[in-house]
Structure 1
């Protein structure tokens, strides 16, 4: 029997309060807006299990075109839970990690957009400099700078 094979990961989704603010923040990191649209109707509710829903989504893509982040702002139904301020060891908590060229420069730019360091920028062996930040709306974002010839 042949096993079904994974083809690719299409995207990671994050629900936000302000789509405009989230788009601006992720553009500052270096992602590009690929598209923006309203998703609504019975078919969408059948996929998500929410019934009738209306959400505006924005698809952000990395410069290499291989990774995407789907940002969603729900109009209906109302958001019922908020996990943004949960600590990094909370079950099911999500963070996105981005490799950047200059972590210090990126952190400084993002702080101008309200980002805050969670801990410190640290060095892992002779391979990476790493940090976590709380970005727009308190979203947890990881940043990594390659310093030893390997990618994260």
Structure 2
């Protein structure tokens, strides 16, 4: 019997140009800034394989404390490629999905901050309303609103 088992997922990392703009965007969604700092030194480059590096990071956390986004701005070495505007079916493409209370309200709020709806808000069976938006820096964000058994959940929350 093996004792090596997955314990948890700590975070997803997204490389950005502006930490301030991206922190503001994810704060609008409802995440909180948990910490911010600079990572540098030979040890960090050994992890990433980039050699000498200097990276400013910001850690964002969801209200329940279970999920985190590590936002990284590379100071050195310079950025070599940009995948932000590739179609959603590109290999290795990254999208982050958030469950929200009211998808229409969230879309309206984020479009006022410059986000753009990619397609449209659609309903999947009697379970979810879903959409993709392009947020700050062209990042692709998925939004989901649970609709199945909504009345039952509201009764239990009273």
Unaligned runs of 5+ in 2: 151-158
**Deviating 4+ runs (over 6 angstroms):** none
**Which residue pairs with 2:156 in the alignment?**
none
How many residues matched? 150
Alignment of 1:2-151 (within 5 A): 2=2, 4-149=4-149
Deviation at 1:69, TM superposition (A): 0.3
Match of 2:104, SS? helix
Deviation at 1:4, TM superposition (A): 1.4
Could you tell me how far apart the structure 2 residues matched to 1:96 and 1:63 are? Answer: 16
Deviation at 1:149, TM superposition (A): 3.3
Could you tell me how far apart the structure 2 residues matched to 1:74 and 1:90 are? Answer: 23
Match of 1:114, SS? coil
Deviation at 1:120, TM superposition (A): 0.2
Unaligned runs of 5+ in 1: none
TM-score (norm 1): 0.97
Q: 1:77-100 CA distances to partner (integer Å, 9 max, x unpaired)?
A: 000000000111000000000000
Could you tell me how far apart the structure 1 residues matched to 2:3 and 2:81 are? Answer: 37
TM-score (norm 2): 0.93
Q: 1:86-145 CA distances to partner (integer Å, 9 max, x unpaired)?
A: 111000000000000000000011001110011000000011000000000000000000
Match of 1:57, SS? strand
Aligned CA distance change for structure 1 residues 49 and 149 (closer, same or farther; 3 Å):
farther
Q: 1:34-75 CA distances to partner (integer Å, 9 max, x unpaired)?
A: 000000010000000000000100000000000000000000
Deviation at 1:30, TM superposition (A): 0.3
Could you tell me how far apart the structure 1 residues matched to 2:142 and 2:149 are? Answer: 19
